[in-house]
């Protein structure tokens, strides 16, 4: 189950309302206090929680809800709708260029799951009939190129690399020419990560960006890091401009804070979620389905 603690607490808070017939404003307020605590305990950004509760509460004490025959159902529906809206309302897809190849640049901190996710994305689009090319631009971590090659072999997707002596900009440039020659309609560039955000990393990513002009810059963040994932998203977005986020490790014991805060804080959508270490453990992110999963 996803976000187990949060899910249990929300269901318990809203479940209490179901046992009552008509609701008073106090009933709604009490329930919202519990919802608020559950969200804060799940490490959702404080301001996001505050705005969320305010909106839900305003809608719930409206006449339509209070005077309806099933007020609790109404409240649950409103919480569901506002959770969905918090996560961006509708699924946000990858922009496929009308003039191939579509270029996706993968960025993120070391260990977030960037290389694995590059492979997963390649596999996802291969299944849809695309001819992806994976590009090894992480020239600093010795094992990174090998890791991408192993992933490529498993998926039967070609991997472009020039070893670790060339600059990432040159590699990316050469990879694009290679893709055009070899009829690859999707280029996924695995860039270098660092343990922390620093200027050298951002400068390098900016150079790759201005050279290859990617259609999408996807930031990979680890959901287990909670609000840190949100801060990392903000920093990358400010420095580089991202188009979306892939949130990894949602199969682990993660609390939900990142999933529920990133969109509101950065205004950038979560496009995919990583649900495990295997190469097909990647799902497109649907805010409405996630909200329903959380509310059970
Ligand atoms: P990178 O340094 O950002 O390129 O990270 P890697 O792709 O090497 O991934 C770091 C670790 O996280 C590896 O052990 C991956 O198997 C693991 N990983 C990546 N995505 C997921 C995920 O969605 N779920 C789980 N459980 N593990 C993941």
> 120 CB under 6 A from ligand 1?
no
Which residues neighbour 104 within 8 Å (Cβ) at sequence distance 6 or greater?
94, 121, 186, 187, 188, 189, 214, 215, 216, 217, 218
> In ligand 1, which atom is closest to the CA atom of 109?
3
Sign of CA dihedral 211, 217, 220, 225: positive
Rounded CA separation 246/38 (Å): 24
* pLDDT score of 253 more than 80: yes
What ipTM describes this predicted complex? 0.99
pLDDT above 80: residue 283: yes
Nearest CA to ligand 1 atom 20: 113
Question: Coil, strand, or helix at residue 17?
Answer: helix
Kindly report the pTM of this predicted structure. Answer: 0.96
Distance 76 CA to ligand 1 centre (A): 35
Is the pLDDT score of 142 beyond 80?
no
Query: Using an 8 Å Cβ cutoff, are 109 and 235 in contact?
Result: no
Residue 115 annotated as binding site: yes
Question: C-alpha distances in angstroms, 126 versus 99, 121, 166, 235, 237?
Answer: 18, 8, 28, 31, 28
Nearest CA to ligand 1 atom 26: 276
Is 251 annotated to bind a ligand? Reply is yes
Residue 244, classed as helix, strand or coil, is strand
Q: What token pair was written down for 95?
A: 């922009």
28 CA distance to ligand 1 middle (Å):
41
Ligand 1 center to residue 94 CA distance, Å? 21
Q: Report CA dihedral (285, 132, 242, 282) to the nearest 10 degrees.
A: 20
Tokens at 255, concatenated: 């609390």
pLDDT tens string 155-181: 999 999 999 999 999 999 999 999 999
Q: Which residue minimizes the CA distance to atom 9 of ligand 1?
A: 113
pLDDT score at 69: 83
Residue 143: which of 161, 124, 117 has the closest Cα?
161
């Amino acid at each position: 189950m996803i976000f187990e603690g949060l899910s249990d607490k929300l269901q318990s808070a809203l479940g209490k309302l179901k046992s009552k017939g008509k609701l008073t404003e106090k009933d709604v307020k009490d329930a919202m206090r519990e919802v608020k605590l559950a969200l804060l305990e799940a490490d959702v950004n404080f301001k996001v929680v505050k705005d969320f509760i305010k909106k839900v509460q305003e809608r719930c004490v409206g006449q339509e809800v209070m005077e309806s025959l099933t007020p609790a159902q109404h409240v649950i529906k409103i919480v569901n709708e506002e959770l969905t809206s918090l996560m961006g309302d509708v699924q946000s897809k990858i922009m496929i260029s009308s003039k191939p190849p579509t270029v996706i640049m993968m960025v993120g901190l070391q260990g977030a799951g960037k290389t694995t996710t590059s492979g997963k994305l390649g596999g996802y689009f291969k299944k849809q009939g695309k001819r992806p090319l994976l590009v090894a631009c992480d020239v600093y971590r010795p094992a990174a190129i090998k890791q991408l090659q192993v992933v490529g072999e498993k998926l039967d997707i070609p991997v472009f690399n020039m070893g670790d002596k060339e600059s990432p900009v040159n590699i990316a440039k050469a990879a694009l020419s290679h893709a055009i020659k070899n009829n690859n309609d999707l280029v996924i560039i695995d860039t270098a990560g660092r343990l922390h955000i620093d200027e050298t990393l951002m400068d390098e990513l900016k150079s790759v960006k201005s050279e290859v002009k990617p259609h999408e810059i996807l930031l990979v963040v680890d959901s287990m890091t909670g609000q840190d994932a949100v801060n990392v998203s903000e920093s990358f977005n400010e420095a580089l401009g991202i188009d979306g986020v892939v949130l990894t490790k949602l199969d682990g014991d993660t609390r939900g804070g990142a999933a529920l805060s990133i969109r509101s804080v950065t205004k950038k959508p979560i496009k995919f979620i990583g649900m495990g270490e295997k190469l097909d453990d990647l799902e497109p992110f649907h805010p409405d389905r996630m909200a329903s999963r959380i509310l059970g």
